[in-house]
Structure 1
């Protein structure tokens, strides 16, 4: 077994988090994500997933987040979680370096039975996405046909999923259960305060996310971004806040409600980029590594995964990839916009492929 070889990139950023996509498919069609319903030709199997996770841990990763598309569409999700958990419990195994095993889901498929099976398999934390509190808003932000009626059905399922996760042992007070909401001007900015009120009522931390220019097919325009500062001000006007800060490597600035109503966060990757301490490596469902969410090109790891995983080879290529990393797209975009430059249009993969 290879030894631990923590690695820094060109800007001194350590590899700390692996975001592993299990599928590009999704049961929703959120416009900011733009899933095309197409699965890569060859999905990775459990042995390949475990090799990627092991290599990442040996290079310094301490958190693993399983994503999609919608990861609950993956039949091998629980077996993979269980295999990771077994290795985490072995002190000499590289996976014992994992401090957190998390998952992001839209919640539609998260039944009570599924929530229990995920918890039993070893999942520590689950984040559920919800972009509205009424049928029309949910339908629009989820890309649903059928208007309010379809939106209400999805909303009810997500609210049931929140309860199912709580009952399965995902405790919001420990941060085991959180909500994510993307806010887009012209579509759902009127839902900001209702979403905050829902999260307060549920006792769950909610993180508002600026509408991001991931990929080229979501029609992103700067004027559609509701900035973190705007969002915080709206919340502050309704419920006074106390600023907590942003942990190194974290995506969210955190705030505490002064009345004891819990926590709220904002992810300001557009208006206040946090490239300087970004520690995330993304690997797609077909084994392509991206060192930036906004990256135009990835590096295929298949030569070291097929016909069977080559752990030492994976470590070498992933170490080399990270050491050459100098991505800071959001900072560069913001700097260019500040002097009136128009960014060059480069073809980029959609968020559903990258795993968000």
Structure 2
């Protein structure tokens, strides 16, 4: 089992397969994707070696991320490689939903269990203003298809004061009849969005207090769950999650490690550098990889230091898929 010096165990791998994204979200890539890094992304054989190395050390959940992972033509093969690895119980993916309506059946056939789709507004005009794409209707149709296929669906919405802070009631109305989990995510400061962050950061704590006041109950987190605090209400088909990285002890329950699309281990989303493990992947030696992972995990810190304004090497969230 992968365990750090603080006793935290890591069941959960977030695997980025590309840093390319075709959306222009104002909090992440407002000017669109810029090809300013090496695009020699992990190959399918390297991904198989990576997955086998992690699962032999207790990883049971893999989330495929980007950029936008559906931009890779071999995405179904990558999903299948993750789903077929011994010990993997759950294969998830985070996507902007651009290809959801057309490709969800292929992803499910390959072994996808759950899906997180980014929808920062249910107002089509605001959605287009945030993302640069008029795709909300097609994405919502794709979500209906995913639910019909038995996929567990979560919706990611980044809270932004000047854009969607007043939309909570719209989301609640939708959750009355829609069996998804809405995850409200506090805007995080990165290297490229300092001014935007200062203008738009909204704390999730007042929302949590209001939910509890309105009769929502808090769910107990599973060992392989992400960082959200989740809430349910008997009158709603959907649930609400809050991701509050600036809250006290946010990092105490950390259970995930990240691999970049070019084969670097990031011990934290906001680590000051990625640690190159690609030579072990290219040698196809999972034993060598396991030894390297155990050694490198000794450098994981207790917290991300976001509360002190530290953003590490993370210029924008598309680098590692959040």
The reply to whether TM is greater than 0.5 is yes
Structure 2 unaligned spans of 5+: none
1:7 and 2:5 matched: no
1:138 and 2:127 matched: yes
Matches within 5 A, 1:155-170: 155-170=136-151
Aligned to 1:340: none
Distance 1:224-1:273 versus aligned 2 partners, 3 A rule: farther
Aligned to 1:47: 45
Task: Tell me, yes or no, if the aligned pair for 1:240 and 1:259 is still in contact at 8 Å.
Answer: no
What displacement does 1:305 show? 2.6
Aligned to 2:27: 32
Write the distance in 1 (CA, Å) between the matches of 2:154 and 2:179: 10
Write the distance in 1 (CA, Å) between the matches of 2:311 and 2:220: 33
Aligned to 2:157: 181
Aligned to 2:288: 313
Aligned to 1:79: 77
Q: Return the match for 1:198 from 174, 178, 192.
A: 174
Partner SS for 1:269: coil
Distance 1:126-1:327 versus aligned 2 partners, 3 A rule: same
Partner SS for 2:262: coil
Write the distance in 1 (CA, Å) between the matches of 2:123 and 2:40: 38
Deviation per residue, 1:157-203 (Å, 9 max, x gap):
11111112123332xxxxx1121111111222112221232233322
What displacement does 1:102 show? 0.6
Q: Return the match for 2:93 from 103, 111, 119.
A: 103
Write the distance in 1 (CA, Å) between the matches of 2:237 and 2:161: 26
What displacement does 1:310 show? 2.5
1:294 and 2:270 matched: yes
Structure (1 or 2) with the larger CA radius of gyration:
1
Deviation per residue, 1:60-85 (Å, 9 max, x gap):
21100000011111111101222333
Write the distance in 1 (CA, Å) between the matches of 2:168 and 2:310: 32
What displacement does 1:107 show? 0.9
* TM-score w.r.t. length of structure 1: 0.82
Q: Return the match for 2:108 from 110, 119, 124.
A: 119
Distance 1:78-1:345 versus aligned 2 partners, 3 A rule: closer
Write the distance in 2 (CA, Å) between the matches of 1:344 and 1:129: 25
Q: How many residues align?
A: 317
Write the distance in 1 (CA, Å) between the matches of 2:310 and 2:148: 48
What displacement does 1:43 show? 1.1
- Alignment root-mean-square deviation, CA: 2.2
Deviation per residue, 1:98-127 (Å, 9 max, x gap):
111111111121124x11111111111111
Write the distance in 2 (CA, Å) between the matches of 1:19 and 1:75: 19
What displacement does 1:58 show? 1.4
What displacement does 1:345 show? 6.9
Write the distance in 2 (CA, Å) between the matches of 1:246 and 1:167: 25
Distance 1:345-1:131 versus aligned 2 partners, 3 A rule: closer
Q: Return the match for 1:269 from 240, 245, 263.
A: 245
Structure 1 unaligned spans of 5+: 1-5, 88-94, 145-149, 171-175, 337-342
Which of 102-111 and 215-224 deviates more? 215-224
Task: Tell me, yes or no, if the aligned pair for 2:270 and 2:312 is still in contact at 8 Å.
Answer: no
What displacement does 1:273 show? 4.4
Write the distance in 2 (CA, Å) between the matches of 1:77 and 1:344: 33
